[in-house]
Amino acid sequence: MMLDELPDVAPAAGEVETAELVVHDDVLVKLFALGPGGAFDPHVHDDATNVFHLLEGEVVVTQDGAEETVSAPAVVHNARGVEHGARNESDERALLTASLCPLP
């Protein structure tokens, strides 16, 4: 899938829109569009690795309580058992994919 083939997403301030891009055997790739102030809460995948690919914008990534601001293009590895999340503190949309494998 090419970037110009991604679903058209335009989340409002404080909102997050999602779309499943790939669901196959043991992998899930999900699109997250975070409007200004949008976030997904820190959570853990005990049996899977999760990788963020930041395609557009800037997000604050949390990992086990630590925070780092990341700007596109970027890749963030979230190892199994590591609590992770992201929030958009900018005034623009942030667009990222999250790849989860293997599927729990």
Q: What is the pLDDT of residues 37-48, one digit of tens each?
A: 999 999 999 999
Q: Is residue 3 part of a domain?
A: no
Q: Is residue 84 part of a domain?
A: yes
Q: Is residue 38 part of a domain?
A: yes
Q: Is residue 11 part of a domain?
A: no
Give the tens place of pLDDT for each residue, 35-88. 999 999 999 999 999 999 999 999 999 999 999 999 999 999 999 999 999 999
Q: Is residue 4 part of a domain?
A: no
Cα 17 vs. chain centroid, distance in angstroms? 11
pLDDT range class, residue 1, cuts 50, 70, 90: low
As given in the structure block, the two tokens for residue 98 are: 């999250």
Rounded to two decimals, the pTM is 0.90
Instruction: Report the CATH number at residue 79.
Output: 2.60.120.10
Q: Is residue 10 part of a domain?
A: no
> What spatial distance separates the first Cα and last Cα of the chain, rounded to whole Å?
24
**Cα–Cα–Cα angle for 41, 77, 62, rounded to 5 degrees:** 30
C-alpha distance from residue 79 to each of 21, 54, 55 (Å): 21, 17, 20
Number of domains in the chain: 1
Residue linked to tokens 């790739």: 29
Q: Is residue 97 part of a domain?
A: yes
Does 3 score more than 80 pLDDT?
no
